[in-house]
Structure 1
Amino acid sequence: MTQNRPQRTFRTAALLTLAAGLLVPAAAPAQLTPNAEPIDSIVALVDEDVILRSELDLAVAGIVERVRASGDAMPPMNLIESQVLERLIIRELQIQRALITGIRISDADIDEALVLLAQQNGLTIQQMRQLIEADGEDFSEFRRNIGEELMTERLRQRIVNSMDPITETEIDILLASEELGGGEYNVSHILIGLPDGSTPQQISEAQAKADDIHERLLGGLDFASAAISFSDSQEALEGGLVGWRDLNSVPAFFSDAMRDLQPGDITQPIRSPAGFHIIRVNDYREQRQVVVKEYNARHIMIQVNELVTPRLAMDKIIDIRQELEDGADFAELAREHSDDQTSANLGGDMGWFPPDAFGERVAQTLLAMQPGQVSEPFQTQGGWHIME
């Protein structure tokens, strides 16, 4: 892989996820005396936390850099700022929800994510740190934002794990589908959203807005610029880019509209419960067969910290392993003893994941195990573990 400089916009890209939330007016700028330093202002209140003008300005600058680098038309700054602020608000709400539900990210988790990020860019940790600091970023702030991104990702994973499992009947229906072997579409998306319980007037106004955007797109308006300016979807600040999807992975009303489109084509506005959608097919390819080996496992972790030495953690995990041999229930022991708050309440369930998702030591342990087998205690940077 070529050695690429980590994008300065990584931090803001990690901060900007879903769109929704509470907007409040920015605080009025204070009158400054000739030698006074500017005072940061509050632009949004999110429960008991705030979003500052400096945070918003930094995030907006990242989006502006990305749009300029892509060569797309620059949307009006007030629209970019509004979109970015909504993303920052929902990001803060996700973090607060994660904390309330007991999700915690350790320094070891952040270190592992940083190592992976550096490897993806063909760099060492030290090289990546030097580039980040040379670009005017504070590395400790960069670490904090990585930790928040991990936290929100674990929140999303917990929601996914709580969903009903796919049934054998659903699998049979999919296998019988004529679309199973179809190709993949690279698509972009604009959403003109509707609130729950929309009035006829709101629906009419949203449809008129969608129709107007559609006409302007046909007249030459850049799709990415239109998405950044007008879309209410979570991909708005990425120019509406959704990425590669097959027809089975999108709602039926999307697949029906996309099926006969060629690269460069856009749909008419499509109505759904969420609002009106305009979809653009950017590219098409025949679907590739990809085989991914994943494991479904559960674990118990005893974390090493200021109060628990590695020796004490090892002794405790050995005792828990003995309880399992004596017939204790794995899930109950995980709920009672595991320090991994993400999985403990789920009986230690880690969900489905590729073997290297949690580091080399976990991967080595998994590869040596058979279904239903409980591992011997082993140590990682986070503490001592047993897995099933």
Structure 2
Amino acid sequence: MGCSLGINGFKSTNFAKRRNGSPEVTLEVKIGLKMNKLVKLAVVIVITFYTALSHAKIEIIDRVVALVDKDVVLASELVRRTNSIVDQIKSRNQAVPPIEKLREQVLERLILESLQLQMAKRAGVRISDTELDATIERIANDSKLSVEQFRKKIESEGLAWAIFREDIRNEIMISRVRKGAVTRRIKVSEKEVDNVLAQINQEGESRTQYSLGHILLPLSEGASPEEVSKVRQKAQNIVRQLRGGANFQEYAITHSAGENALSGGGLGWRSLSQLPSLFADSVRNMKANEVTEPLRSGSGLHILKLFESKGGFETHSVVQTHARHILITPNAILDEKAAYEKAQLLRQRVLEGEDFAELAVEHSDDKGSGALGGDLDWADPGTFVPEFTEAMDKLAINEISQAVKSEFGYHIIQVLGRRDQDQTEEKKRDRAYLILHNRKFEEEALLWLREMRDQAYIKIINDK
């Protein structure tokens, strides 16, 4: 396979680097169907055997609690997920909200997850067992456990390993389809980057960071004045309760429609530049434990609480290397041994005084850099494939390497220089773009989920 190394290095080339008796049967399955709509009912059957002399009893005790387009939400899953949230709340020594309120929140989350999983499947998103195993291994490593130790921990908490694996698979699928769908909706202009960069510079890369809590009361953009008034009254009542000492995490779990609601509404540590402008303008002058008035956006009313703040900023410098090379690639005519010997011969010719650049123009199979005398320009660490980088980093200035084998062939490398490069401004600009993208992603993700839910067929089946 050939490659093309240009004047900008091979950052954009192939060279760059590239999760007994007759049984008595009792059935209790409650299913709602919408006329003329195909609804795929995947009902989990829980079988309990009672052995008493010559007969057994089989009882199906699961039921459907919601229809979501072509999928269903089962009571067993709602109970499992609700119990999991309750355990998390208790582990944080917080009071558990009224179970009916919590159940409503969890059911809404399961509905949104179902819609996203259905979209992922329609889009052909598939997570292989290999990718899933790799993701679980990373999760285990983050907990400083082996996979087997991690599995025992999960099972000791009462969760079947197979169910845990499918939960992780679904999380990966949801993340992937959301990233694809929402990113397509995001546009970031250079002017916007300039504005955020100016803010970063003005605030010293936002030396202050804020630990925030967030409650979202959703409102569609076309909500009637009556709907807006009703939600605003609810928001103002929540603000009064919070300012009176109510537990923010409990209120977030009970009332918020935000992404982090079930974990208590925490947004983690954010700088002002990482927050939507609507939030930043309010947070900038807040003191610890203060709660904002309701803030209106396209997705609804937001309530923020500042838990605490801290500060800091670092410069960014890297060692860049300026190198050139001659590449000899094995082919139908030139086998592996012959390619190696040719590369070594060219090295000897350079050592004997022939011009490196002229030999690169004449012989290099990397036509991009070859036309430039093999020049790869200044390159950051990690730009090139590992074998090339390892050999290059061992060379002194102007030293000529032995033939170095990589997936592309054999390289003769010469290092022309090294320098410390301050990339603080470049990193700040990259950060400004990422800030804008992440800010818009959060806003667009909420709108996207609301639009998807509004367009879906959803029926809640109450056990009344």
TM-score for both structures, normalised by structure 2: 0.55
Aligned residues of 2:288 and 2:307 also touching (Cα < 8 A): yes
State the distance in 2 between where 1:155 and 1:242 align: 22
Mind listing any 5+ residue stretches in structure 2 that lack a counterpart? 1-42, 51-56, 319-364, 368-381, 393-405, 409-464
Q: Tell me which residue corresponds to 1:304.
A: none
Q: Tell me which residue corresponds to 1:248.
A: 273
State the distance in 2 between where 1:53 and 1:268 align: 37
Matches within 5 A, 1:108-187: 108-159=130-181, 161-162=183-184, 166-177=188-199, 178-179=202-203, 181-182=205-206, 183-187=208-212
Deviation, 1:164, is 5.3
Aligned residues of 1:174 and 1:180 also touching (Cα < 8 A): no
Deviation, 1:230, is 1.2
Q: Tell me which residue corresponds to 1:349.
A: none
1:33-56 Cα distance to aligned partner (Å, 9 max, x none)? x95635101011122211110100
- The RMSD of aligned alpha carbons is 3.2
Aligned residues of 2:220 and 2:298 also touching (Cα < 8 A): no
**Cα distance change on mapping 1:275 and 1:162 into 2, 3 Å:** closer
State the distance in 1 between where 2:125 and 2:317 align: 28
Q: 1:203 aligns with which of 207, 218, 228?
A: 228
State the distance in 1 between where 2:309 and 2:176 align: 32
Q: Tell me which residue corresponds to 2:118.
A: 96
Q: Tell me which residue corresponds to 2:81.
A: 59
Give the letter for the 2:124 counterpart: G
| 1:82 partnered with 2:104 | yes
Aligned residues of 2:243 and 2:290 also touching (Cα < 8 A): no
Instruction: Name the SS for the 1:37 alignment partner.
Output: strand
1:4-33 Cα distance to aligned partner (Å, 9 max, x none)? xxxxxxxxxxxxxxxxxxxxxxx9xxxx9x
Q: Tell me which residue corresponds to 1:299.
A: none
Q: 1:376 aligns with which of 403, 407, 411?
A: 407
Deviation, 1:290, is 7.9
Aligned residues of 1:257 and 1:267 also touching (Cα < 8 A): yes
Give the letter for the 2:205 counterpart: G
**Cα distance change on mapping 1:87 and 1:247 into 2, 3 Å:** same
**Cα distance change on mapping 1:241 and 1:164 into 2, 3 Å:** closer
Q: 2:237 aligns with which of 212, 223, 231?
A: 212
Higher relative contact order (CA 8 A, sep 6+): 2
**Cα distance change on mapping 1:51 and 1:363 into 2, 3 Å:** farther
State the distance in 1 between where 2:391 and 2:100 align: 56
Deviation, 1:368, is 7.2
Counting matched residue pairs gives 279
Aligned residues of 2:204 and 2:313 also touching (Cα < 8 A): no
Matches within 5 A, 1:319-338: none
State the distance in 2 between where 1:93 and 1:365 align: 45
Aligned residues of 1:46 and 1:93 also touching (Cα < 8 A): yes
Matches within 5 A, 1:248-327: 248-289=273-314
Aligned residues of 2:205 and 2:313 also touching (Cα < 8 A): no
Q: Tell me which residue corresponds to 2:251.
A: 226
Q: Tell me which residue corresponds to 1:348.
A: none
Deviation, 1:175, is 2.2
Give the letter for the 1:271 counterpart: R
Give the letter for the 1:125 counterpart: V
Mind listing any 5+ residue stretches in structure 1 that lack a counterpart? 1-26, 294-324, 328-354, 356-361, 378-388
| 1:44 partnered with 2:72 | no
Aligned residues of 1:180 and 1:248 also touching (Cα < 8 A): no
Give the letter for the 1:171 counterpart: V
Instruction: Name the SS for the 1:211 alignment partner.
Output: helix
State the distance in 1 between where 2:387 and 2:70 align: 43
Percent of aligned pairs with the same amino acid: 35
Give the letter for the 2:276 counterpart: P
State the distance in 2 between where 1:52 and 1:292 align: 54
1:223-258 Cα distance to aligned partner (Å, 9 max, x none)? 111111111222211111111111112221211111
State the distance in 1 between where 2:95 and 2:144 align: 31
Aligned residues of 1:179 and 1:248 also touching (Cα < 8 A): no
**Cα distance change on mapping 1:363 and 1:166 into 2, 3 Å:** farther
State the distance in 2 between where 1:235 and 1:366 align: 44
Deviates more, 1:182-191 or 1:53-62: 182-191
